[in-house]
Amino acid sequence: MGQIYLALLWHQHQPYYKDLVTGQSSLPWVRLHGIKDYMGLAWLLREVPELRQTINLVPSLIVQIEDFLDGGTDKFLEHTTKPADGLTEDEVKFILDHFFMAHWENMINVHPRYGELLSWRSPGRKSVDRVWKRFSTQDLLDLQIWATLAWFHPTVLERDDELSGLIAKGRDYTEGDKAAMLAKQLEVLGQVLPLHRELQESGQLEVTTTPFFHPILPLLWDMELAHVALPAMIMPQLRANFREDVAVHVSRAVECYRERFGCAPKGMWPSEGSVAPQIVPALAEAGIQWIATDEDILALSIGTHFDRDPQHHLVNPDLLYRPWRISADGAEISAIFRDHQLSDMIGFKYQWQPAEDAVGDFIHRLDTIRRRSPRRDHLVSVILDGENAWESYAGGGVPFLRALYRELVSHSWLTTVRVSDYLAEHRPEDRIDRLFPGSWISHNFATWVGHGEKNMGWEYLDRTRLFLERETARRGESGREELTDAWEELYIGEGSDWFWWYGDDHYSGNDEEFDRLFREHLKNVYRLAGATPPDFLNNAIIQAGRPAPYSSPRAFLSVELDGRPTSYFEWASAGHYSHSRDGGTMQRVSGNVVSDIYLGFDEKTLFLRFDLDLGRSADVPGPAPPQRAGKMPFPRPYIAPPTARRPAPLPTEEELLDMWSSVGITVSFSGAVEATLALDDPTGRTMTLKLAGEEAAEKQMDSFALRQILELAIPFEDLNLKPDDEFEISVEIRRDGAIAQRAPESSTIRMRAPTHDFERLMWQA
């Protein structure tokens, strides 16, 4: 029977937070994840010498770690280091508003004193103006320490008596304790890169890279590549030529890597798994030997589809579980393709299970691959975020990962590999001549372009680049050197993260801060060139392109009705209504019942999903479940649940069901159909569909599931909707029989029943 070769790749990334003019970083995630995931995941690997693995370190992350070691700071660190007895009123309020930005259940409430301070603060229920005077100097000092101390990885605490002593002390800290903790923070950060190099040189780890500031390379090369997947997408109007920047980001990534690791990188995770044939020559010319992206890209490139059975095992596994060669414009490069189901199991599913059960399921899935195609070996690639997933696991993911690593090295039929080692012994025999342009998200680029806000971001970037091109040319031969820092700020502005948070498909809780950061980087281009930033950069992009509080579906869905956010991909392409973006509703005193509604379909069925508002309703306490559909399996800067919306503690499933028991929902359809869908008690498992007009009828339906979320499935046939029929949806939500909320508040959600070629035509711009 064949062998399973498992390639595990953790992707570590942060956007570039540092302002090159002020020298300050605005957000703390580089150093906090540094003392947690960047150190911890590498150390766990070291505990199992037989294990082989790959970790991807983005250059913009590497240089920010080094910046902190060289004395760099951020606004959060400055508020930590200042003596508690010298804090101003504004500084106290900043601390109380921002120092609970961690997973409440797994990182705050597990520490009694930190949890006590959180309960006193009561984010979302009490304004900071109401509570700030309650906090004594000692309270604030304890909070300053816990806001960093809680982030140290469990493996660090196990090895450090001083830090574990501070954890045990728990409260009544001194300024000396704080100084000792901050010194330990720098000590741990200083070990991160040397540990990765040590593990690579020992042969246990392969470190790979990403284009320097994490740009979407295909969009820099040619924005029109986005039209391959989505022909109807509305594109930004660009005049500048960004194509030369592809080579800049790639070559600088290689240079950065060589300086830190003493050799050139062999592998690369292109930012967000974004690929196109046009960028292959630039990668090959820089010496990159292999890249990785998602399974959907492979399927579209070779004209197939990867079907899965009800247990999500691949029906046709052979094509995915092998390396491929990509040919483009005379260049060749190897490629592996991630199994996004297995990757999502780790990213979204296993945190809900006991560690041993989760590991057993993972091993079973690998064994199923082997048994379904017993005469050949398989390379199974599991690639995901190396940062955020573990915050939803008990013990920071350590019990799960230790059990997983032990199990992975205990089976004779299973071998963990560094990707380059595997490719050296198993040269790809299959070739891709027409690589499909797309990313790991729905095999397109809609996450970064196409929405009004995203397009405006590109147009701001375009205008800034045109200015810099002209200024560089005006200065002649010395222009490029004189304007090095200005060009650096432009390259920072090309990073994917800024465009990620624009639009209505993702919400961080700090969208305004990311908007400000993006525009500040562009303003710095002008400042560093000796010019005054133009007025258009003072205009917040997030105010544009939001005429409606909802987006439309972008691709067909495959929904498992289980009442849980099973996978990011399950609802990633759905339309999304957000209460927080509905005009006027943020001021509602009584609170709301539902925070988000997702709407989508496959060719035959309409799917709806409802999420409870767990932060604003007075009688629905607790933070949102830690793994919602908007939570990405690839690294985002960790944004804790917005402090204005997340009271503690986290409800259990039983408590959530009890909350749902007082909720009634009526979905009204109009346009091509007049109908209502009523759920007077979701926990009672009764759903009634009533058709009005000539098709008047009533039908009891059971195609829904309720646990953490409410998921519904309504066949278009039952609604008498034909392909291309237009219809509108509005939702009325009741609590204890009284109307508590309408969504949208003063409009409807407009949709169109899909035709069979919906995904190709993509009617939504």
DSSP 581: G
Decide if 422 contacts 428 (C-beta within 8 A).
no
For the beta carbon of residue 539, count every other beta carbon within 10 angstroms.
11
- What percentage of the chain exceeds 70 in pLDDT? 90
Nearest to 298 by CA among 250, 334, 268: 334
Cα–Cα distance for residue pair 736/753, rounded to 1 Å: 33
Residue 255 pLDDT > 50: yes
Whether 638 is in a domain gets the answer yes
Cα–Cα distance for residue pair 753/714, rounded to 1 Å: 12
β-sheet bridge partners, residue 294 = 338
The per-residue b/e assignment along 688-718, b for 16 or more CB within 10 angstroms, e otherwise, is: ebebeeeeeeeeebeebbbbbbbbbbbebeb
Which residues in 154-244 belong to E strands, given as ranges? Answer: 205-208
For residues 348, 580, 609 and 507, what is the CA-based torsion angle, rounded to 10 degrees?
-30
Decide if 712 contacts 703 (C-beta within 8 A).
yes
pLDDT at 98: 94
Cα–Cα distance for residue pair 365/314, rounded to 1 Å: 10
Q: Are residues 582 and 671 in the same domain?
A: yes
> At residue 209, what is the residue type?
T
Residue 113 pLDDT > 90: yes
Cα–Cα distance for residue pair 244/548, rounded to 1 Å: 37
For residues 307, 308, 309 and 313, what is the CA-based torsion angle, rounded to 10 degrees?
140
Q: Are residues 341 and 301 in the same domain?
A: yes
DSSP 586: G
Burial of 168 (0-12, 13-18, 19+ CB in 10 A): exposed
Q: Are residues 637 and 711 in the same domain?
A: yes
Distance spanning both ends of the chain, measured CA to CA = 49
What is the arithmetic mean of pLDDT over 419-429?
Answer: 96
Nearest to 565 by CA among 707, 397, 452: 707
pLDDT at 699: 84
Whether 698 is in a domain gets the answer yes
| Residue in the structure block whose two tokens are 């990509």 | 326
C-alpha distances (whole Å) from 339 to each of 297, 521, 556, 627 are 11, 36, 19, 20
Q: Are residues 579 and 710 in the same domain?
A: yes
Q: What is the 3-state secondary structure (H, E, C) of 76-132?
A: HHHHHHCCHHHCCHHHHHHHHHHCCCCCHHHHHCCCHHHHHHHHHHCCCCCCHHHHH
- Residue 149 tokens read as 């101390």
What is the arithmetic mean of pLDDT over 521-546?
Answer: 87
pLDDT at 532: 93
What is the arithmetic mean of pLDDT over 71-81?
Answer: 96
Decide if 577 contacts 552 (C-beta within 8 A).
no
Q: Are residues 331 and 393 in the same domain?
A: yes
pLDDT at 714: 93
What is the arithmetic mean of pLDDT over 202-226?
Answer: 98
pLDDT at 457: 96
The per-residue b/e assignment along 198-216, b for 16 or more CB within 10 angstroms, e otherwise, is: ebbeeebbbbbbbbbbbbb
Q: Are residues 631 and 518 in the same domain?
A: no
Cα–Cα distance for residue pair 433/550, rounded to 1 Å: 39
pLDDT per residue as tens digits for the range 594-649: 889 999 999 999 999 999 887 533 333 222 333 322 333 333 333 333 333 333 45
> At residue 535, what is the residue type?
D
pLDDT at 650: 61
Whether 38 is in a domain gets the answer no
For the beta carbon of residue 319, count every other beta carbon within 10 angstroms.
16
Sign of CA dihedral 727, 733, 739, 741: negative
Residue 673 pLDDT > 80: no
Cα–Cα distance for residue pair 406/460, rounded to 1 Å: 50
Look at residue 207 and give its three-state secondary structure.
Answer: strand
pLDDT at 748: 76
Whether 101 is in a domain gets the answer no
Whether 89 is in a domain gets the answer no
pLDDT averaged over every residue in the chain: 88
Residue 389 pLDDT > 60: yes
pTM above 0.85, yes or no: no
pLDDT at 658: 83
Q: In this structure, are strands 663-671 and 675-679 parallel, antiparallel, or unpaired?
A: antiparallel
Whether 127 is in a domain gets the answer no
Nearest to 266 by CA among 281, 246, 287: 287
Q: Long-range contacts of range 124-132, CB-CB < 8 Å, 24 or more positions apart?
A: 124/615, 124/616, 124/643, 124/644, 124/645, 124/646, 124/647, 125/618, 125/647, 128/93, 128/96, 128/97, 129/93, 131/96, 132/89, 132/92, 132/93, 132/96
What is the arithmetic mean of pLDDT over 701-719?
Answer: 89
pLDDT at 725: 85
> At residue 385, what is the residue type?
D
pLDDT band at 691 (very low <50, low <70, confident <90, very high): confident
Q: Are residues 539 and 620 in the same domain?
A: no
What is the arithmetic mean of pLDDT over 382-391?
Answer: 92
pLDDT band at 552 (very low <50, low <70, confident <90, very high): confident
Cα–Cα distance for residue pair 382/370, rounded to 1 Å: 16
| Among the ranges given (190-204, 479-493, 537-551, 659-673), the one the predictor scored with the smallest mean pLDDT | 537-551
- State the maximum Cα–Cα separation within the chain, in Å, rounded to a whole number: 78
Q: Are residues 354 and 502 in the same domain?
A: no
Cα–Cα distance for residue pair 522/536, rounded to 1 Å: 11
Q: Are residues 401 and 539 in the same domain?
A: no
Whether 354 is in a domain gets the answer yes
The more confidently predicted of residues 234 and 683 is 234
pLDDT at 513: 87
| Among the ranges given (275-289, 339-353, 369-383, 496-510), the one the predictor scored with the smallest mean pLDDT | 496-510
The per-residue b/e assignment along 567-578, b for 16 or more CB within 10 angstroms, e otherwise, is: bbbbbbbbbbbb
pLDDT per residue as tens digits for the range 574-587: 999 888 776 543 33
pLDDT at 684: 65
Domain with 622 in it: what CATH number?
A: 2.60.40.10
Decide if 662 contacts 594 (C-beta within 8 A).
no
Burial of 88 (0-12, 13-18, 19+ CB in 10 A): exposed
β-sheet bridge partners, residue 438 = 275
For the beta carbon of residue 361, count every other beta carbon within 10 angstroms.
14
pLDDT at 375: 80
Domain with 367 in it: what CATH number?
A: 3.20.110.20
Residue 509 belongs to domain spanning? 452-543
Q: Are residues 345 and 480 in the same domain?
A: no
pLDDT per residue as tens digits for the range 427-469: 999 999 999 999 999 899 999 999 999 999 999 999 999 999 9
Q: What is the DSSP string of 125-158?
A: TS-HHHHGGG--HHHHHHHHHHHHHTTS-HHHHH
Q: Are residues 326 and 389 in the same domain?
A: yes
Give the chain's domain count.
3
The more confidently predicted of residues 566 and 599 is 599
Q: Are residues 515 and 614 in the same domain?
A: no
Whether 440 is in a domain gets the answer no
Nearest to 741 by CA among 620, 601, 604, 603: 620
